[in-house]
Amino acid sequence: MAETRVALLTGSTEGLGKMTALLFAEQKWTIAVNSRRSDEKASRLLKDLRELGAEAQSFPGDVTRRDEASRVVAETLERFGRIDVLVHAVGPFIRERKLFVEHSGEEVEQMIHGNLLSAIWMAHAALPVMRKQKWGRVIFFGFGRAGEAPAWPDRSVYAAAKTGLVSLTKTLAVEEAPNGISVNMVCPGDIVGEKKEMRIREVSRLRDEETPRGRPGSGEDVARVIRFLTADASDFVTGNIINVTGGLDVIHPVSKKHPPFSSV
């Protein structure tokens, strides 16, 4: 492709989305940054991307809403003329462990809208653009073992939303393959806090006794997989649920908050 690649990254002003944007910028891609609102984080990221030599612009919007997702895609297309890659890094997660019945209705809606519906709306808006181009890459985020649809006590609603997204990933991969579009899901392990924005060299000297690899994961571990999936020669890799976990199984067979035989 002669044109500069254009990547639209939702939820990209921090965490794994931000690290992915930085790796794309190192390749001199054009970056469309999305977050819920235009704020200082977005401004800092744009500055960093431009310093790496990439063209970058912010397109704020709440992509859990269908109209906002469509607007973000339309504005990106109007500004850059194409969208080659969609990396959907929106995915709220409630750190506190809760049984399903302990979730409020608002929390249920937050998990479903943020992790599943936002992905549906973004893909629904972006895929027609990629179809016209006869080329595209869609990357969703999941969790380790999401492809198995395992029981995940204390994470019920989040897990339900992400395993629903697994089915969408596999279905879209089949439907869109004739159009030159691949669709995959990347599933990070227990990469939390500041490590989401760290490089491999920064975590390589740290110990993690839980992870079989022996070190914690970094944002770069995840972003490098995404970069591979977006390459021209990766077009045969589609419909996959790819774990980036260092061998760690994040799923616990029983509730850690309410162990068996404890009083609920």
Band of residue 262 on the pLDDT scale cut at 50, 70, 90: low
Q: What is the pLDDT of residues 198-244, one digit of tens each?
A: 999 999 999 999 999 999 999 999 999 999 999 999 999 999 999 99
Three state DSSP letters for the chain: CCCCCEEEEECCCCHHHHHHHHHHHHCCCEEEECCCCCCHHHHHHHHHHHHCCCCEEECCCCCCCHHHHHHHHHHHHHHHCCCCEEEECCCCCCCCCCCHHHCCHHHHHHHHHHHHHHHHHHHHHHHHHHHHHCCEEEEEECCCCHHHCCCCCCCHHHHHHHHHHHHHHHHHHHHHHHHCEEEEEEEECCCCHHHHHCCHHHHCCCCCCCCCCCCCCCHHHHHHHHHHHCCHHHCCCCCCEEEECCCCCCCCCCCCCCCCCCCC
pLDDT computed for residue 1 by the predictor = 44
pTM as predicted: 0.95
On the question of pLDDT at 110 being above 50, the answer is yes
Q: What is the pLDDT of residues 244-259, one digit of tens each?
A: 999 999 888 899 888 8
Domains assigned to the chain = 6-244 (3.40.50.720)
On the question of pLDDT at 72 being above 80, the answer is yes
On the question of pLDDT at 150 being above 70, the answer is yes
Of the chain, the percentage scoring pLDDT greater than 90 comes to 92
As a whole number, mean pLDDT of residues 11-19 equals 96
Of the chain, the percentage scoring pLDDT greater than 70 comes to 98
